[in-house]
Amino acid sequence: MLHTPRAIQPSGNVVDDDGKTFRDLFKVTRSWNKPQPFPTKVAIDKSLKHVRNIDLASVYKNYRRGK
C-alpha cells in the first residue's frame, strides 16, 4: 500500500461584516470580526495518488453584538 502525503493546517480567519459592501474594507477595528487568540480553522488535506486532493475543513467563529 502506498503512503500518500497528508497535511494538517491550523489557521485563523476574519470576517468583514459591517454591512457596507466593499466600503471601509480596511477599517479593521470597526468592521472586522477578528480571530480568537487560538486557531479558528483547521484543515486536513490528503493527496490521492498524487493526482487529486481531498480537503476537510472546520471553522469556529464568534460574532460581536451590535454589528
pLDDT score for 19: 74
Structural domain span for residue 49: 6-57
Are 14 and 25 in contact, with CB atoms under 8 Å apart? no
Q: Is residue 23 part of a domain?
A: yes
Q: Is the pTM of this model over 0.85?
A: no
Q: What is the pLDDT of residue 24?
A: 75
Of 46, 32, 45, 38, the residue nearest 12 (C-alpha): 38
Q: What is the pLDDT of residue 1?
A: 45
Map grid coordinates 487529486 to a residue. Answer: 52
Query: What pLDDT digit, counting tens, does each position of 6-51 carry?
Result: 888 888 877 777 777 777 777 777 777 766 677 788 898 988 877 8
Rounded Cα gap, residues 18 and 9, in angstroms: 28
Counted domains in the chain:
1
Max CA distance (Å), the chain: 54
Is residue 1 in a domain? no
